[in-house]
Amino acid sequence: MYTQSRIPKLHDTTFDNALLWFSELHCNGLLFHPEDDPAEIIRFADDERMFSDAEVQELRFLLDELDENLGHERMIEAAYPIFMNAFGLQLDA
């Protein structure tokens, strides 16, 4: 039986696509900091892991691709505005 992944597709490893990917994670309620191991993300509501083993593998692969192609700092920069928005903080234009 095939289960469809909840992880958004990363269409390319450009900065803009990384920004879009983090935004889609947020919209799907799956946003986490890219420096955290997805296997260790726990939902507050029920104290269970947020991601299945298959999703953890997929996320690790995608984060490695972003890190390799953008560099660590640029990957974090792509996630930054999404996190600020998630916390209700307005960034200056």
What pLDDT is attached to residue 33?
A: 94
What pLDDT is attached to residue 88?
A: 83
What pLDDT is attached to residue 28?
A: 95
What's the predicted TM-score (pTM) here?
A: 0.89
What pLDDT is attached to residue 93?
A: 58
What pLDDT is attached to residue 92?
A: 66
Which residues does the chain have with pLDDT short of 50?
A: none
Q: At what angle do helices 72-86 and 53-70 cross, to 10 degrees?
A: 120
What pLDDT is attached to residue 53?
A: 95
Q: How far is it, in rounded angstroms, from Cα 30 to Cα 59?
A: 11
Residue with tokens 């953008």: 70
